[in-house]
Amino acid sequence: MTRRGGNLALDPVDFLDLHLDDAGRYGVRDGEQVTVESRHGRALLIARVSTQTAPGQVFCSFHFPASGVNRLTSDHADTVTSCPEYKVTAVRVAAP
């Protein structure tokens, strides 16, 4: 979340990438704001629907604090690297 790298030129906001089939099941359209919720917290993101993400999985970056993505993950971290436990987090997706 340093916002110091070139990644900001790729996307102006944090998106939620999800598969076309999942979007249909959740009633989510491409470009629509969605609520993403885990047992740790909630975030509001813009849906980016495609077939590039595997069905049953979602992906989002965490460059912008306002999106709330860091609230989705736990406070646990690897004891050696201090890397947060963010790679696998169960979430629920809903159109607000």
**Tens of pLDDT along the chain (96 residues)?**
455 666 566 666 789 999 999 999 999 999 999 999 999 889 999 999 999 999 999 998 777 777 778 788 777 778 888 777 766 788 899 886
Q: Assess contact for 69 and 45: CB atoms under 8 A.
A: yes
Q: Assess contact for 83 and 70: CB atoms under 8 A.
A: no
The domains found in the chain, sorted by start residue, are 6-94 (2.40.40.20)
pTM to 2 decimals?
Answer: 0.77
* CA 65 – CA 43 distance, rounded (Å): 10
What pLDDT, on the 0 to 100 scale, is given for residue 25? 93
